[in-house]
Amino acid sequence: MADQRKPDPSGKGVPARKPAPARKAAPPAKGKAVAPRPSAGEVAAPAPEGYTSLIEPRGAVSEFLAPVGGFGVTLSNMFRPTVTEQYPSEKVPAKPRYHGRHQLNRYADGLEKCIGCELCAWACPADAIYVEGADNTPDNQRSPGERYGSVYQINYLRCIFCGLCIEACPTRALTMTNEYELAGPTRAGMIWEKEDLLAPLRAGMLQAPHPMVEGTTDTDYYRGEVTGSTPAQVAWVTEHRPDDPTLPGGAGLEAANVPGPTAAVMAATVAGATKQGTR
């Protein structure tokens, strides 16, 4: 028997290229020890079986109401509690662990926690963070220890809020707030600088720079053994910056906690957008 794939010499046979109709693979020819090799490719692919739906067929009533059945969904939702958030008219707080914009924290006496180590920048998969470190000097002690972050930028056009930076931070200086309203019309306005990111001063904190609490090391700060500013620190700030608002009898925290320029512009943008969107 001749090879079945060969075209019929008479030219009357089925053309080889035409998709074969549903047919079983040819059974082995009788009297042959080895079955003919099933030909590869689509040509010889088994035909797909016909489609059968797994959904049970409707009853007659259902079939009758089917054209208006969709309204039932709407109707039933009218009696359920509403989930629509009236953003921005009503702003619902995010979940506590929501990854919002970053914040650079302070110790209880007002010194910055950031030591400028750049580990956040290293961890960042989006290359959104840029840090430069510098020396703390007796005249300019901004964080406990020897080093502080002199430049700190987060580019919110790049940030993907993955949180790897806050995991990398060795001093818990960088954390994420629940603040999510980050919008602005310019690229430059999306790059937050250190003064924009620094956490607001709280009661008992003194605006940095000022010396560390006397007799402590950076480890003591890290362990939380510093619970507030001391009279010596107050005296130092009084001597060097008599007008500092965070001094006792100063203008107060309200005056000290002025948002940074970029943050202020973004806050204004967001406030404007909120106003525009509010009904």
Partner 1 sequence: MTILSSGPTTSLVPAAPVAAAAPAGETVTFTVDGIETEVPKGTLVIRAAEQLGIQIPRFCDHPLLAPAGACRQCLVEVWAPGRDGALAKMPKPQASCTLEATPGMQVKTQHTSAEADKAQHGVMELLLINHPLDCPVCDKGGECPLQNQAMSNGRASTRFVDVKRTFPKPIAISTQILLDRERCILCQRCTRFSEEIAGDVFIDLQKRGANQQIGTFDTSVLGFVGEAPLGAAAEDTSGRPFASYFSGNTVQICPVGALTSAAYRFRSRPFDLVSTPGIAEHDSQGSAIRIDHRRGVVLRRLAGEDPTVNQEWITDKDRFAFTWQTAPDRITTPLVRNADGELEPASWVEALDVAAAGLRAAQQPDDPRETATGAAVLPGGRLTLEDAYAYGKFARVALGTNDVDGRARPLSAEEETFLGHHVAGRTLDVTFADLDRAPAVLLVGLEAEEEAGIAFLRLRDSVISRKLRVLSVAPLASRGLERLSGTLLTAAPGTEAEVLDGIGTDPSLRETAELLGTEGAVVLVGERLAGVPGGFSAAVRLAQRTGARLAWVPRRVGERSAVEAGLLPSLLPGGRPVADSAARVDLAVTWGVEHLPAEPGRSTTEILAAARAGLLGGLVVGGLELADLPDPAIAREALDRVPFLVSLEVRHSEVTDRADVVLPVAPPTEKSGTFVTWEGRPRPFPQALTSHAMADHRVLDRLADALGVELGLQSLASVHAELDQLGGWDGARVGAPDVTAPEPPAVPDGSAVLATWHQLLDAGRLQSGEQFLAGTAKRPVARISAGTAAAVGVQDGGSLSVSTDAGTLTLPAVLTDMPDHVVWLPTNAAGAGVRDALHADAGAVVRLAAGPRDLEARA
Q: Which residues are annotated as a binding site for [4Fe-4S] cluster?
A: 114, 117, 120, 124, 159, 162, 165, 169
Q: Is 53 exposed, middle or buried (0-12, 13-18, 19+ CB in 10 A)?
A: exposed
Residues 36, 88, 133, 260: which binds partner 1 (CB under 8 A)?
Answer: 133
Stretch of 21-29, 37-45, 74-82, 140-148 lying at the interface with partner 1 (CB under 8 A): 140-148
Amino acid letter, residue 66: A
Q: How far is the CB of 278 from partner 1 (least distance, A)?
A: 42
Report the DSSP pairing between strands 174-176 and 102-104.
Answer: antiparallel
Site string for partner 1, 29-68 (x = CB under 8 A): ----------------------------------------
Is 147 a binding residue for partner 1 by CB under 8 A? The answer is: yes
Q: Which of residues 165-194 bind partner 1 (CB under 8 A)?
A: 170-171
The least CB distance from residue 107 to partner 1, in Å, is 16
Out of 119, 154, 212, 237, which residue is the one contacting partner 1 (CB under 8 A)? Answer: 119
Tokens for 156? 């919110």
CB of 138 to partner 1, least distance (A): 13
Q: For 106-131, b where at least 16 C-beta lie within 10 A, e where not — what string?
A: bbbbbbbbbbbbbbbbebbeeebbeb
Using the contact rule CB under 8 A, the part of the chain among 23-31, 143-151, 242-250, 269-277 near partner 1 is: 143-151
Alpha-carbon distances, residue 108 vs 81, 104, 221, 227 (angstroms): 44, 13, 9, 5
Among the listed ranges 111-119, 186-194, 200-208, 229-237, the one in contact with partner 1 (CB under 8 A) is: 111-119
Q: Name which position in 20, 44, 134, 273 contacts partner 1 (CB under 8 A).
A: 134
Distance between first and last Cα of the chain: 85
Radius of gyration of the chain (CA): 36
By the rule CB under 8 A, 116 interacts with partner 1: yes
Contact 251, 206 (CB under 8 A): no
116 touches 147 (CB < 8 A):
yes
Contact set with partner 1 (CB under 8 A): 115-119, 121-122, 132-135, 145-147, 170-171
